[in-house]
Structure formats: C-alpha cells, structure tokens
Structure 1
Amino acid sequence: MTRVLVSGGTGFVGRFIVEHLMAGGYDVVVGGRTPPAPAFFSRPVAFVSLALDPDIDQRVAFRDVDHFVHAAFQHVAGRYRGGEGDDPQGFRRSNLDGSVSLFQTARDHGVKRCVFLSSRAVYGDQPSGAGLFEDTPCHPESLYGALKLEAESELAKLGNDEFATVSLRVTGVYGPSGKGATHKWQPLFDDYLSGRPIAPRAGTEVHGDDVAAAVRLTLEAPLAHLTSRVFNVSDVLVDNSAILAMVQDITGSKHALPGLATLIAFNAMNTEKIRALGWQPGGLERLQATVRSLLA
C-alpha cells in the first residue's frame, strides 16, 4: 500500500486531503505539531511529529514514506494574507525555510513525489479581467503570496526523475468544517440572516474534496503527463450575492441581497492543465448542495 505523509493534515484543507486519500486506498500519515483529537477523522490515522522548523532533524517522519503532501502553513489564526502579524521574519523562517527543509529531507530519504499546496496569491496584481494561467508573470502583493512563490521555486529546483515535484495553486476553499470549527461562510450567513449590510464581493471557490482530488491525480499521473509541475486549482467564480441568493431560497429570508459584484473584472484562474489529468470539480451544483448542507 502506498504511504503518503500529509503535513498540516488537521488543517481545514489538509483534513479533506487526508480523508480523500484514505478513501482512495492510501496509507495516510498525518504530520503536525499535535496529534488529531479522537474521532477528528472518519477512522484512526497514524501520526508523526512534524514542524516548520529548519533547525530540527525530521528524518524519522519520512521513514517508509512514498509521497509527501505539504499542506502545513504557520500563520496568525484566521489569516493567511497578513498572517505574519508583527513577526515577518519568523513567518518567513517557518513557511519558507521550514518548508524547504522538509522538501530536502523528503528528497534525501527516497520520497518519490512531493505535492505543495501553493495559492492564487502568487499572481498578485493583474490587469482587470485578465485570466490567470500557470505561466502568467507573478506579482505577489503580500508576504504570504511571495513566500508561496519562493517555495514553489525552491521545490522545483529539487525535482528530478526520482523526486517528482508539483505545486498546486489553490483558490478559496469551501466545504464543511472539521469537528468543533465553523465553516468559512458562517459570518457571511449570520450577517445576511440578521439583516446587516454586506458589501459586494467576488471570488473563485473550490470544494475541499475537489482540491484533494487534484492532489491525488498529481500523485497518480504518469510522469510523462506532468509536463507542467504547476497547476491552477479553481472551480466557480461567484459573488456574495449569488451565494446569499441560495441562502435566501433555502431559508425563505426576506432580507435584501447585496449588490452584484463586477465579475467581468475579476481575474479568473484557467484550469485546463489540471483538467487534462482528468480533474472534474463539482461546479455550481456542488456549491449549491454544500450551501444547503451548511445551513442544515
């Protein structure tokens, strides 16, 4: 059975990856600072200590590991952009130096593939309405985006025929939260159902399980098909008004919807490359079903 080490496996996105890979027959090991709480996952999962610290010898975590999925990221609670708080040097040391150290350890100990969860934040400021392709020049506007881009570059330098490397540029991830947590749209739903004003806002969204499916595809694809080692992972371009229209329809709320955002000006991510590997996200239908389940 193929063994996959997932760093940050108890995080919001990492949890989807762990569950998806287990369902696909992988032997999954969660790497993190603390073991998952009992019943956090649908069934027991092995755990190893793993930290974003370049000064720690973490070879033992990679023993008998075939693939490494790096989903861990250290940040101020609830924030990614701006997640450095008042410690940008510590943020860099953990999330860049710590990540590169894990990449190097994985390569040096026989890991066959490494998948890094990057972000659309690497693209930064782009012309209004321009599509985002994997070869679009990147201009990150945040330290978060800059470090994700640097980590992509450092991982690519380590890649070879024996150590295949992939970076997934993931957009806003939605889906049910883990045990004891609230989903990311809870404040939005609460504001709307309470009648509070909501500013128009557009964004690209992708379900956490669809992100996990992209991870699995890049672990399983023949090397000849990984001609690109960077893939955009995005699904639906939607605004707050459209999401809350679903809430309105389900709940019967009489509150007014926010104004429409200008979708034509948004920089949508092109996903032709990951779709060529067989990726089929759930689209608007999955978004609607998820909103319904979150409200239930």
Structure 2
Amino acid sequence: MKALISGGSGLVGRYIVEALLDAGYEVVTAGRAPPAEGLFSRPAEFRSLRLDPDADHGQLFAGIDVFIHAAFDHLPGRYRGGEGDNPEGFRRSNLDGTVRLFEAARIAGVKRVVFLSSRAVYDGVASGTRLTERLQVRPSSLYGEIKLLGEQALAAMNAPGFTTASLRLTGVYGGLRPNKWDSLFDDYLAGRMTKPRAGSEVHGRDAAQAVRLMLESEAPLVGGQSFNVSDLVADTRSILAPLHQSLPKPPDLPPSADKAAVAEMDTQEIRKLGWHPGGQKQFEETLQLLIGSRSAPAS
C-alpha cells in the first residue's frame, strides 16, 4: 500500500509518516521542500507540492493508493490568525488549493483520502457546550471556516471506490524533536514569564492511530464522515512542572489555568472504531522524554 502524506515533515505529519512506515506502508511525503536528512527513521520518497489551485498535480498521485492531507500554508507558529494580512491568499491556498488536491486524487484513482481538520471548526460554539460531530457549527475564525469547508468539500466526493474522511484534531504533542514545546521550555528556563493557558491535546502517535483507522476501517464506517480526535486537557503549568522538578534552582511556575473552561471534545465516534489514546500516563512519559533529551550531552 503506497501512501502520500502532504506536509509529512511538519509537526503532525512526522508522526503519521513514522506510524505508516512501522505498519508496512510505502510512504511518499510531499511539500514545498524536501525533509531534512535523517528526519524520518527510514527513507521515504519525496514529491514537490504547492497548495495552488492552478497547479498541475498530474504526477503527484502516480502509483498512490491513499492520500493523507496534512499540509497547511500559514504564518510560522500560527494557525488561527495564520492568514496575517493576506486572508484572500490564505483562503486560496488552504481551501481552493486543498479542494484541487482532492479532485486530482479522485481523478488519479486514489482509493482513500484523509483530511486533517481541526478543533477550530468549533470556534464560536457557546461556552460549556460539549463538542460533538453532530453540532451545527459556524466557525468564528477564518482558520476554522476553511477547515470546515474543506471537510464539506471532501465529504461531498465520497463514493464507492473513493472513501473520504476528516479528522478534527486538537493540539498535537509528542516526543519528536524539534518539538512544539521547545520555545515554552526555553522561555521558562530563561525566566521569561509564561502566560497561563489551558488547551486540549492528543499525542502524535494517537493522531496517527486515528489516521490508520480511517485508512483501514470498512468504508461504510468512515466514508464521508468527520471524527473528533482529542485526549486530555493540559495547561502551561502542568507541561512545565516536570522540568521545574528536575532543576536544582528552578524559576517559578506560572499559575494554573482554568482547565474546566476548555470545552470537551466528545470522542465516542472514533472510539467505536477501536481508537485508544494514551491518556495522562503517556503525557507524563512524553514530558520526561523531552526533559531527558534536553539534558542529554550533544553527540
């Protein structure tokens, strides 16, 4: 089985690449530039990709059986607000360019497509609402709106022989380096005050497990559907606490954020397919791994 992963060298895409390599897939990554040497545990083919609705994707999907779309064009470090001062270009790349990819995959005979959507589709939902896939949503952010429209466009293409599914991912953490929490750790160690913040998280391996379920479950169970993917709620204090404990004279930790204010993403639908995230134990083990890798001597 040959899988194409757009954005495979990104913070989320790397976990999907590694999971599919481990599962025996032949993996091809696609993006604007080849991944850094040694980024993946095993070699993976690379193909050039631009999120451009006018691009010719004729050769991109040659020989590809399944497509996972994880690429997204945004300002560095920003998803919500990632359009900066160019919302039209943001929409053209991430909506029009994405739909063009889905169409090209269908024409090329790809059998399954998985779209990495976002919790942001729920932006604007009233506080305290349990977030289920059945909610009628109208995202208040441009990022969330584009993700929702991408989901809807892909679902409309679902048909026998072309199975489509979307995953509404929350924040994705994990132990690979570089890591999304590197700057948080750096700021803390430098004594720079960190603003208390709480958010939902899921480990990259669990996100990749969800992708595999979309690829390997019977088509009627996933086709044309969107699934929530979230595990736990963490705040900056809980993320930094193990690092604090490892230091002889640590800086003060930030105050706790209000975790209860973070709306719960209901994950019953994907759990019915056999999805089992790692929970608090995996969260704590990952933090210990990250702390250990920071203190390890350079090779």
Q: Is TM more than 0.5 here?
A: yes
Letter in 2 for 1:282: G
Letter in 2 for 1:219: L
Letter in 1 for 2:4: L
Equivalent residues of 1:132, 1:267 under 8 A apart = yes
Letter in 1 for 2:185: F
Letter in 1 for 2:207: V
Aligned mates of 2:110, 2:250 — CA distance in 1 = 55
Equivalence for 1:189: 185
TM-score by length of 1: 0.93
Letter in 2 for 1:266: V
Equivalent residues of 2:158, 2:223 under 8 A apart = no
Q: Equivalent residue of 2:12, what SS?
A: helix
The 1:254/1:56 distance shift into structure 2, 3 A limit, reads closer
Cα deviation, 1:14-47, whole Å, max 9, x if unaligned, reads: 1111111010000111111222222121111111
Mapped pair 1:122 → 2:121? yes
Letter in 1 for 2:241: A
Aligned mates of 2:112, 2:25 — CA distance in 1 = 14
The 1:253/1:210 distance shift into structure 2, 3 A limit, reads farther
Cα distance, 1:228 vs. partner? 6.6
Aligned mates of 2:124, 2:242 — CA distance in 1 = 30
The 1:184/1:37 distance shift into structure 2, 3 A limit, reads closer
Equivalent residues of 2:11, 2:180 under 8 A apart = no
Equivalence for 1:15: 14
Aligned mates of 1:223, 1:151 — CA distance in 2 = 20
Alignment of 1:55-94 (within 5 A): 55-94=54-93
Equivalence for 2:297: none
Indicate which of 210, 219, 238 corresponds to 1:223.
219
Mapped pair 1:201 → 2:197? yes
Letter in 1 for 2:26: D
Aligned mates of 1:255, 1:39 — CA distance in 2 = 35
Between 1:239-248 and 1:117-126, the stretch displaced more is 239-248
Gaps of 5+ in 1: none
Cα deviation, 1:92-141, whole Å, max 9, x if unaligned, reads: 11100100000001111111110000000111022222211111222322
Equivalent residues of 2:51, 2:93 under 8 A apart = yes
Cα distance, 1:254 vs. partner? 4.4
The 1:249/1:129 distance shift into structure 2, 3 A limit, reads farther
Alignment of 1:1-296 (within 5 A): 2-178=1-177, 181=178, 183-226=179-222, 229-296=225-292
Gaps of 5+ in 2: 293-299
Letter in 2 for 1:175: G
Cα deviation, 1:151-180, whole Å, max 9, x if unaligned, reads: 1111111111211110100001112344xx
Structure 1 vs Structure 2: percent identity of aligned residues? 52
Cα deviation, 1:171-227, whole Å, max 9, x if unaligned, reads: 01112344xx3x222232233334443332110011111111110111000123226
Cα deviation, 1:211-247, whole Å, max 9, x if unaligned, reads: 1111011100012322671000111112222222222
Letter in 2 for 1:216: R
Equivalent residues of 1:126, 1:267 under 8 A apart = no
Equivalent residues of 2:163, 2:224 under 8 A apart = no
Q: Equivalent residue of 1:60, what SS?
A: coil
Letter in 2 for 1:97: D
The 1:245/1:253 distance shift into structure 2, 3 A limit, reads farther
Equivalent residues of 2:116, 2:168 under 8 A apart = yes
Letter in 1 for 2:270: I
Q: Equivalent residue of 1:62, what SS?
A: coil
Aligned mates of 2:136, 2:266 — CA distance in 1 = 14
Cα distance, 1:259 vs. partner? 2.1
Equivalent residues of 1:130, 1:266 under 8 A apart = no
Equivalent residues of 2:165, 2:223 under 8 A apart = no
Equivalence for 2:296: none
Cα distance, 1:249 vs. partner? 2.7
Aligned mates of 2:248, 2:170 — CA distance in 1 = 30
Aligned mates of 2:176, 2:84 — CA distance in 1 = 24
